Amino acid sequence: MAEPASRLFRPDEADDDTPSTATEAALKRLKRDLIRGVLPSGRKLKIRELTERYGIGASPMREALAQLASGGFVNIESNKGFRVAPVSRSHLVDITQTRQIVEGEALRHAIANRTEAWEEEIFTSFQLLKWEIDRRDSRSEEWLDAYEERHRRFHLALIAACPLTALKQFCEDLYTQMTRYRRMLKEMGFSEQIGSSQHEEIMSLVLDGDVEKAVATLRDHIAITATAVLADDRI
């Protein structure tokens, strides 16, 4: 029996990757476009445009938007519709610091509940990430997507053994929020190498069970994107 989705608590990871309803399909594509930055920050999301773009009716479209709104990607205002949640310096600082706290805690709990499988997944996802960085081909949308996918996988792997579902889910949400900023960085022409060296260090510290150093390094790593983005005054 597949468990249904829930935001604050998800006992079982139920990946329905084949959208069987129009709402799900719209949700998936819309989220992707938001993260990719195809739909820029602050932009008005007119129902008409969206229904044409994604080829579905207004009701499922609004349903998908309502979900994204709760997830913080989209803002609603009564009788004025939806718009892409704006990015801002203060928002970036906020989610960065919050992420440092909660992802650090989650890592602590993960290490305290380590298993073989968890360690293996960390190693695997690290290797995949490293290979992806080595054969990098910036400016290619596909490469950026592949890189982002592996980066995400690595970060989620680190905290996967944390038994607190709600905490882990929140980390995942924050990570996703941060993706837009990370993407901006790439588009500003920064090297993907920024912070890359830390991945191996984090992995080693985590696998060695050096909790304090691991958490400290993870926190530093989380701060790097923010520092780099904030250094640019176009934002």
Burial class of residue 187, CB neighbours in 10 A (0-12, 13-18, 19+): exposed
Q: Is 70 in the site for DNA (CB under 7 A)?
A: no
Q: Are 86 and 41 in contact (CB under 8 A)?
A: yes
Q: Which amino acid is at 64?
A: A
Q: Is 4 in the site for a second copy (CB under 8 A)?
A: yes
Binding mask 140-169 for a second copy (x = CB under 8 A): -----------------------xxxxx--
Binding test (CB under 8 A) with a second copy, winner from 13, 15, 20, 193: 20
Binding test (CB under 7 A) with DNA, winner from 6, 59, 70, 127: 59
**In 17-77, alpha helices (H):** 22-36, 47-54, 58-70
With tokens 């909660």, the residue in question is 102
Burial class of residue 135, CB neighbours in 10 A (0-12, 13-18, 19+): exposed
CA angle 206, 210, 215 (to 5 degrees): 70
**Residue 56 binds: one of a second copy, DNA, none (C-beta under 5 to 8 A by kind):** DNA
Contacting residues toward DNA, per CB under 7 A: 20-24, 44-48, 56-60, 62-63, 76-82
Name the site residues for a second copy (rule: CB under 8 A).
2, 4-9, 11, 16, 20-21, 23-24, 59, 62-64, 66-67, 69-72, 75-79, 83, 85, 90-91, 94-95, 97-98, 101-102, 105, 163-167, 170, 173-174, 177
